[in-house]
Structure 1
């Protein structure tokens, strides 16, 4: 999965909203509203002045939002093309063995883990879909950014379908599972934190020309790209992958592998966009505000891990879960270009990157052959 980050681990170059020697937005007609050709001109006007790719910006751009090319951000278009090569649906993955495993092979502690992972994820992906579709995409002023984000909105809906497919296939009580984020404090805490950071940024009247609002928006996007998707999702699949290593719930785990592939791209795109936004706007994030985000995220994740893994399962525990969260958080911080929140955190789950990778394309007419470590080689924490 780390290959997706190879190109954007390096600092993004500082970019300006106009070509050298030109005034910002000089390609737009006088009085023209951003992204609306001919706005503010006489009613009988039949054409508008041309715009240039250099007029594009991540936000607050003066280019034409309907004019896809030439690209100013060709990397965003590559994300879109790569995402479309990853198309899949949950119906292509058999769940019969998972039904047997859930009802006859999982321990009560393992069923508790499995159910609550699904309960958290069902709400999280809908929240991610709303964040991108209503809070982020609406404020982007370069169409190549919006095109990938439109694909991302679809993928979040696909992920929600996947969790529903797993819940329905196993015959779980849908109302009870979907309500856990409301009634279980440890799940609610994570969703509540995300909603709080999303609330103001989602407003259509949230003016990003105001530097304070711009800083708040950048922090919110950093949270959703680097923490919500880059840490909580990445870490959130780990308990299911721990079952998969023992040959349990393989259909669910395979679907999460496909979701993981999507989410790593979402995270990489968001981090690249945040860094480009900061460079374009010459914006410095308040390090204390960033540190508070990590602290709040860790506290919410720690409470969730304590509830999820109140009894450790073979090969996985709350302490391992939190150790991996801190390790991945440091990785995301480096990619974002901010200080590591947990210096010295170690990779306590070295198998996770390999386990979460799809090592080859699936032949959907055959069952994938996967190697699993035997239970005897695993340890109770």
Structure 2
């Protein structure tokens, strides 16, 4: 029987082997949004109200955003599309690549709006080279991209495990932890009545990233069903080590972003949140919790409900294409 990771390039959509992937592609199409729909005008006024420490947080945040989704897009093109051998899955990956491009455009617009000084913008775009906390996250990402860079075909069990680890890293650690840490800072600012434009755009990015993660996890589920022998104690141990390193990288970023602590946002609480999120990702992958932390951020527990309000009530006439989409209210963030 042909499996999802068998080498080759299946082009046949009928009969469809993985209809769930096709339905995810269709749901993503209904979820279309554009950067031009995000109003950042009020953010300019809010920026003038921020303290020096809050300005530092915002600048670090947009500096990370400036390169994060480009890294994810590179891995989609260089690695994932090549090895997931189902045309309906590649349809979804093509759509995800478009969404990553929209995210990059959104973050470009943020930088141009938030950092009027051209030299500051140049520094932000080069953050992965000269800001240690962002460089550390970048190095973590590139190590996993490079780990399968020379794999043209997944012929052996070990090669398939390498691919799985790359996919899990980008779903659970990059999109599922690094970005969720960044989202927490955005929603902390929103909870204080600040930067509503940033929060609105982030709502839609958040929705996209949740769908990206769930697609990747469904690929993992499919591989687990088809090749259960790949999911042994060694793979479990490698995933736990990967998640632990990702938490450490994001915690270093939190130390940079939060400094000595802000009202309602500090390194200790962010550590609890990151460990909590890491556990959610491990459980979704079929592994036991590793950390046992609780979510300290009430504003993140309500995020899925607030996203519904923003998505369907504030933009009913402007976003008709997405009204048929779905939002899960029982997912842990």
- Tell me if both proteins adopt one fold, taking TM over 0.5 as the criterion: yes
Aligned to 1:352: 300
Residues paired across the two proteins, number: 308
With normalisation by structure 1, the TM-score equals: 0.77
Task: Please give the alpha-carbon distance, in whole angstroms, between the structure 2 residues aligned to 1:167 and 1:321.
Answer: 24
Please point out which of 256, 279, 294 is paired with 1:330: 279
Which ranges in structure 2 are unaligned for 5 or more consecutive residues?
Answer: 319-333
Task: Please give the alpha-carbon distance, in whole angstroms, between the structure 2 residues aligned to 1:65 and 1:206.
Answer: 15
Aligned to 1:201: 148
Which ranges in structure 1 are unaligned for 5 or more consecutive residues?
Answer: 1-17, 19-54, 367-381
Task: Please give the alpha-carbon distance, in whole angstroms, between the structure 1 residues aligned to 2:211 and 2:148.
Answer: 22
Matched, 1:363 2:312: no
Aligned to 1:217: 163
Please point out which of 17, 27, 35 is paired with 1:90: 35
Aligned to 1:188: 135
Please point out which of 77, 99, 108 is paired with 1:164: 108
Task: Please give the alpha-carbon distance, in whole angstroms, between the structure 2 residues aligned to 1:168 and 1:68.
Answer: 42
| Cα offset, 1:61, TM superposition | 5.5
Higher helix share: 2
Question: Deviating runs (4+, > 4 A) in structure 1?
Answer: none
Please point out which of 65, 69, 79 is paired with 2:10: 65
Q: Could you report, residue by residue, the CA deviation over 1:251-283 in whole angstroms, capped at 9, with x for unpaired residues?
A: 011101100000000001111101211331231
Aligned to 2:217: 271
Aligned to 1:37: none
Aligned to 1:240: 186
SS in 2 for 1:237: helix
Q: Tell me which structure has the larger Cα radius of gyration.
A: 1
Alignment of 1:69-148 (within 5 A): 69-102=14-47, 104-148=48-92
Whether contact under 8 Å (2:188, 2:299) holds in the other structure is no
Whether contact under 8 Å (2:7, 2:154) holds in the other structure is no
| Cα offset, 1:99, TM superposition | 0.9
Task: Please give the alpha-carbon distance, in whole angstroms, between the structure 1 residues aligned to 2:308 and 2:124.
Answer: 28
SS in 1 for 2:308: coil
SS in 2 for 1:207: coil
| Cα offset, 1:364, TM superposition | 7.6
Whether contact under 8 Å (1:120, 1:187) holds in the other structure is yes
With normalisation by structure 2, the TM-score equals: 0.88
Please point out which of 186, 194, 201 is paired with 1:255: 201
Task: Please give the alpha-carbon distance, in whole angstroms, between the structure 1 residues aligned to 2:152 and 2:290.
Answer: 29
SS in 2 for 1:339: coil
SS in 1 for 2:56: helix
Q: Could you report, residue by residue, the CA deviation over 1:105-160 in whole angstroms, capped at 9, with x for unpaired residues?
A: 11111111111111112211000001112110111110011000000011111101
Please point out which of 290, 306, 324 is paired with 2:255: 306
Task: Please give the alpha-carbon distance, in whole angstroms, between the structure 2 residues aligned to 1:100 and 1:311.
Answer: 26
Whether contact under 8 Å (1:93, 1:364) holds in the other structure is no
